[in-house]
Amino acid sequence: MMTLFNANQIDRISDLPSNVIDVILGNLRIRDQVRTSILSTKWRYMWTSAPHLYFDDDFYQRFLVLDDPGAVVSKIITDVVMLHNGPIHKFSICIYADFDFKITTEDINLWIPFMSRDVKHLELVTHCVFKDPMPDILFSCKELTYFKCSSFILSIPPNFCGFEKLLELHLVCVEFESSALESLMSGCPFLEKLVIELCGDFEYLDISSPTLKVLLVKLEYDIKSICLKKAKNLVDFTLDANYNSLSGLIKSLPKIKRFSMLRGKKIPLADIIPPTLLTSSFSSLEYLKLDEFNLKERGELLYIVSVLKSAPRLIELTIRQSDNNVDTIQVLDHSEELECSSWGGLKLQTVNIEVEARSQHAMSLIKLILANSPLLKTLTFNYSSEKLGAVMLFRISQDLLLMKRASPRAQVKFLCSTFPPFVW
**Tens-digit pLDDT profile for residues 153-174:** 999 999 999 999 999 999 999 9
CA distance linking residue 125 with residue 221, whole number of Å:
21
Q: Identify which of 375, 378, 366 has the alpha carbon closest to the alpha carbon of residue 344.
A: 375
Strands (E), 121-257: 121-126, 132-133, 146-150, 152-154, 168-172, 175-176, 193-199, 204-206, 214-219, 225-227, 236-241, 250-252
Query: Given this model, what pLDDT does residue 37 score?
Result: 58
φ and ψ of 50, to 5 deg = -60, 130
Contacts of residue 302, defined as CB under 8 A and 6 or more positions apart, other chains included, come to none
Query: Given this model, what pLDDT does residue 42 score?
Result: 61
CA contacts within 13 A on the Cβ side of 115 = 28
Q: Output 276-280 pairs: Cβ under 8 A, ≥24 positions apart.
A: 277/250, 277/252, 277/253, 278/306, 278/307, 278/310, 278/311, 279/310, 280/253, 280/255
Query: Given this model, what pLDDT does residue 263 score?
Result: 76
Q: Please tell me whether residue 208 adopts helix, strand or coil conformation.
A: coil
Average pLDDT over every residue of 74-86:
88
Average pLDDT over every residue of 286-297:
86
**Range with the lowest mean pLDDT among 260-269, 270-279, 294-303?**
260-269
Q: What is the mean pLDDT of the chain?
A: 82
CA distance linking residue 194 with residue 174, whole number of Å:
13
- Residue with the larger pLDDT of the pair 23 and 135: 135
The length of the chain, given as a count of residues: 424
Average pLDDT over every residue of 294-314:
87
CA distance linking residue 269 with residue 250, whole number of Å:
11
**Could you give the dihedral angle defined by the CA atoms of residues 276, 281, 282 and 286, in that order, rounded to the nearest 10 degrees?**
-170
- Whether 334 shows a pLDDT value over 70: the answer reads no
Query: Given this model, what pLDDT does residue 36 score?
Result: 63
- Whether 370 shows a pLDDT value over 80: the answer reads yes
Enumerate the β-bridge partners of residue 102.
none
Q: Identify which of 231, 224, 268 has the alpha carbon closest to the alpha carbon of residue 250.
A: 224
CA distance linking residue 376 with residue 316, whole number of Å:
10
**Range with the lowest mean pLDDT among 139-153, 177-191, 262-276?**
262-276
φ and ψ of 180, to 5 deg = -65, -40
Query: Given this model, what pLDDT does residue 10 score?
Result: 58
CA distance linking residue 423 with residue 103, whole number of Å:
53
> Highest mean pLDDT range out of 50-54, 174-178, 257-261?
257-261
**Predicted confidence (pLDDT) per residue in 130-156, tens digit:** 788 999 999 999 999 999 999 899 999
Query: Given this model, what pLDDT does residue 200 score?
Result: 79
Evaluate whether 174 touches 153 at the Cβ level (below 8 Å). Answer: yes
Query: Given this model, what pLDDT does residue 141 score?
Result: 95
Secondary structure of the chain: what % helix, strand, coil (to 5)? 25, 25, 50
Average pLDDT over every residue of 2-24:
58
Evaluate whether 70 touches 35 at the Cβ level (below 8 Å). Answer: no
Q: Please tell me whether residue 211 adopts helix, strand or coil conformation.
A: coil
Evaluate whether 204 touches 230 at the Cβ level (below 8 Å). Answer: no
- Residue with the larger pLDDT of the pair 314 and 241: 314
Instruction: Write the single-letter amino acid at 263.
Output: R
pLDDT band at 117 (very low <50, low <70, confident <90, very high): confident
Average pLDDT over every residue of 195-224:
88
pLDDT band at 310 (very low <50, low <70, confident <90, very high): very high
**Predicted confidence (pLDDT) per residue in 42-66, tens digit:** 665 566 777 888 888 888 888 888 8
**Range with the lowest mean pLDDT among 4-13, 80-89, 160-169?**
4-13
Average pLDDT over every residue of 73-100:
87
Average pLDDT over every residue of 355-361:
74
Evaluate whether 398 touches 424 at the Cβ level (below 8 Å). Answer: no
Average pLDDT over every residue of 26-35:
65
CA distance linking residue 365 with residue 349, whole number of Å:
15
Whole-number percent of the chain with pLDDT over 90: 39
Burial profile 115-150: b = 16 or more Cβ within 10 angstroms, e = fewer: bbeebbbbbbbbbbeebeebbbbbbbbebbbbbbbb
Average pLDDT over every residue of 177-193:
92
CA distance linking residue 77 with residue 79, whole number of Å:
5
CA distance linking residue 383 with residue 230, whole number of Å:
41
